[in-house]
């Protein structure tokens, strides 16, 4: 008989058991469930709600179940529905009547909310740690390439010269935000709902704050209805994972382009590439493509739970069981993506000569040529028109701006002097962009130093 079966005259259909059960996926919450139950039992004994000896028997029984699960000695039962009922049944089978007292003053509604919060709190820090490992790789690579020139793009058209370090540090900013967002997600989950009961609390004199302290929560929930029906913290994780995957996907898109023969900016390591079953010359960036593809999957997890939650009245509804698979899938997908992407990036070989050659082409110094004229006294709009006409005629002749002689340049404007060739060199174009946040090597080196400090600060927050 099911633990809740006293009111029923018939057993549930086997198809219902299969449809209703969540043990096939929520069994991964076993540690959180047992940890929460131990804290609950200790509080029940401390408050005199159950005999202290029963509380101790429950705690020791749960500790034994935890060991057996981790050693692979436990088989979960489908007819026990979920991880919560499976563990309670195992406990009662092992210690007898005392096990039946564990659920005193508790509902599965606040129990599952507790387990989910413990899980999200843990995986948010786990994800943050993996993101910071990626940040370490980016900082290491950036430090090697502060003077590796490359074209920056808008609309996938060569725009202005930057450095590879500056480009990599743009992704550092994204992943630092992702890591910070994960820590905030953990903070939002760090509130204890146990004591909310099914929806209206309980008549037992529970010490909710004792349980919260033992489990390391910063606070307790302050409304029992919200305590059992809130899944915002799961949505927070799904959103954070979605944004992190989006940033990975954007980076992957660039690596895929850069790996092509048309760009030839990067060579992917053999360990993170695959071949073709028919074309022997192929070396495909499949890991980057898979990461890009799996991003949509995590988006689906977020949108699915948003759709599930949007029409639910207070308090708990069975629809909310759908939160687990979305959460587990998003966590697994992000974890796998980061575990492959980080070493893939660290083993990439960048063709800095090819990058520099491309930076020198495509008129990436056109803005600097216009700025040169502005500094000589020409209004910017007039300078823009002069250089635009020059670019058009150079394109027609297959020339770059600095391929022109000084005499040819002066046919466009008498303001050109011999110093234009230094002012419009790629190295000078980059080094002159020395505003904070700019690509000049001096600013990039400072950004790397600050980035290292920011990573260290996030690690400190993560450990607290």
Write the pLDDT tens digit of every residue in 399-437: 999 999 999 999 999 999 999 999 999 999 999 999 999
Domain co-membership, 43 together with 28: yes
User: Same domain for 117 and 213?
Assistant: yes
3-state class (DSSP) for residue 268: coil
Q: Residues near 343 by Cβ (< 8 Å), separated by ≥ 6? A: 271, 272
Distance between CA 450 and CA 313 in Å, rounded?
A: 47
Torsion sign across C-alpha atoms 202, 205, 210, 215: negative
Residue 276: the pLDDT is 87
Please compute the mean of the pLDDT values over residues 348-367 and round it to a whole number: 94
Residues 376 and 324 grouped into a single domain? no
CA distance 150 to 165: 10
In a domain, 375, yes or no: yes
Residue ending a domain, among 48, 78, 104, is 104
Q: How far apart are CA 348 and CA 336, in angstroms?
A: 19
Q: Which of 155, 222, 414, 463 is catalytic?
A: 155
The answer on 142 and 88 residing in a single domain is no
Beta bridge partners of 266: 350
Q: Is 217 in the same domain as 116?
A: yes
Number of domains in the chain: 3
pLDDT tens string 359-398: 998 899 999 999 999 999 999 999 999 999 999 999 999 9
Q: Would residue 450 count as lying in a domain?
A: no
Given the residues 40, 242, 273, 276, select the one marked as catalytic. 276
Domain final residue pick, 80, 104, 128: 104
| C-alpha dist (Å) from residue 215 to 37, 44, 58, 219, 373 | 10, 15, 17, 10, 67
Closest listed residue to residue 42, CA positions, set 54, 33, 32, 31:
54
Query: Quick check: is 155 catalytic?
Result: yes
* 113 lies in the same domain as 260: yes
pLDDT per position as a tens digit, 300-319: 999 999 999 999 999 999 99
What is the pTM for the complete model shown?
0.93
Q: In this structure, how many other beta carbons lie within 10 angstroms of the beta carbon of residue 419?
A: 10
Q: How confident is the model at residue 13 (pLDDT cuts 50, 70, 90)?
A: low
Domain that holds residue 62: 5-104
Q: Please tell me whether residues 89 and 137 are part of one structural domain.
A: no
Q: Are residues 403 and 374 in the same domain?
A: yes
pLDDT tier at 79, thresholds 50, 70, 90: confident
Q: Give dist(CA 221, CA 231) in Å, integer.
A: 13
Read off the pLDDT band of 9 (50, 70, 90): low
CATH number at residue 45: 1.10.275.10
Do residues 225 and 353 both lie within one domain? yes
Query: Does residue 4 register a pLDDT over 80?
Result: no
What CATH number is attached to the domain comprising 430?
1.10.40.30
Residue 77 inside a domain? The answer is: yes
Q: Is 425 annotated as catalytic?
A: no
pLDDT at 1 > cutoff 60: no
| CATH code, 339 | 1.20.200.10
Q: Is 17 helix (H, G, I), strand (E, B) or coil?
A: helix
Domain boundary, last residue among 57, 83, 104: 104
Q: Is 80 within a domain?
A: yes
Tell me the two tokens of residue 313.
Answer: 């009245």
Let me know whether 307 and 407 are in one domain.
no
Same domain? For 298 and 180 the reply is yes
């Amino acid at each position: 008989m099911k633990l809740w079966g006293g009111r029923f005259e018939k057993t549930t259909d086997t198809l219902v058991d299969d449809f209703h059960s969540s043990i096939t996926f929520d069994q991964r919450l076993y540690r959180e469930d047992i940890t929460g139950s131990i804290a609950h039992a200790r509080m029940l004994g401390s408050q005199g709600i159950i005999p202290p000896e029963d509380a101790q028997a429950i705690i020791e029984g749960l500790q034994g179940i935890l060991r057996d699960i981790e050693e692979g000695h436990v088989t979960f039962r489908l007819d026990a529905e979920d991880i919560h009922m499976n563990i309670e049944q195992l406990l009662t089978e092992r210690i007898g009547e005392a096990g039946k007292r564990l659920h005193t003053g508790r509902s599965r509604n606040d129990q599952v909310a507790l387990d989910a919060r413990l899980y999200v709190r843990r995986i948010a820090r786990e994800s943050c740690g993996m993101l910071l490992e990626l940040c370490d790789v980016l900082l290491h690579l950036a430090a090697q390439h502060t003077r590796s020139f490359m074209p920056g793009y808008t609309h996938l058209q060569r725009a202005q010269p930057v450095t590879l370090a500056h480009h990599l540090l743009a992704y550092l900013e994204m992943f630092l935000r992702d890591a910070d967002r994960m820590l905030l997600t953990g903070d939002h989950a760090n509130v204890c709902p146990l004591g909310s009961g099914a929806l209206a609390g309980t008549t037992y004199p529970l010490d909710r704050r004792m349980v919260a302290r033992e489990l390391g929560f910063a606070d307790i929930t302050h409304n029992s209805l919200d305590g059992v029906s809130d899944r915002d913290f799961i949505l927070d994780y799904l959103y954070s994972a979605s944004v992190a995957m989006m940033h990975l996907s954007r980076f992957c898109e660039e690596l895929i382009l850069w790996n092509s023969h048309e760009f030839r900016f990067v060579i992917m390591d053999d360990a993170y590439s695959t071949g073709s079953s028919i074309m022997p010359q192929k070396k495909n960036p499949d890991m980057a493509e898979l990461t890009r593809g799996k991003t949509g999957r995590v988006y689906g997890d977020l949108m699915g739970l948003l759709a599930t939650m949007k029409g639910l009245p207070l308090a708990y509804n069975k629809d909310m069981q759908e939160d687990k698979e979305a959460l587990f899938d998003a966590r697994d997908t992000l974890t796998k993506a980061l575990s492959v992407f980080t070493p893939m990036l660290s083993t990439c070989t960048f063709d800095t000569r090819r990058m520099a050659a491309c930076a020198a082409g495509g008129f990436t110094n056109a803005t600097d040529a216009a700025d040169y004229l502005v500094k000589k006294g020409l209004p910017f709009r007039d300078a823009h028109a002069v250089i635009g006409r020059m670019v058009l005629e150079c394109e027609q002749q297959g020339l770059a701006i600095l391929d022109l002689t000084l005499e040819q340049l002066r046919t466009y404007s008498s303001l050109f002097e011999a110093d234009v060739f230094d002012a419009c060199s790629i190295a000078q174009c980059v080094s002159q962009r020395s505003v904070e946040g700019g690509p000049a090597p001096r600013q990039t080196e400072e950004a790397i130093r600050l980035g290292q400090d920011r990573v260290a600060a996030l690690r400190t927050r993560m450990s607290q």
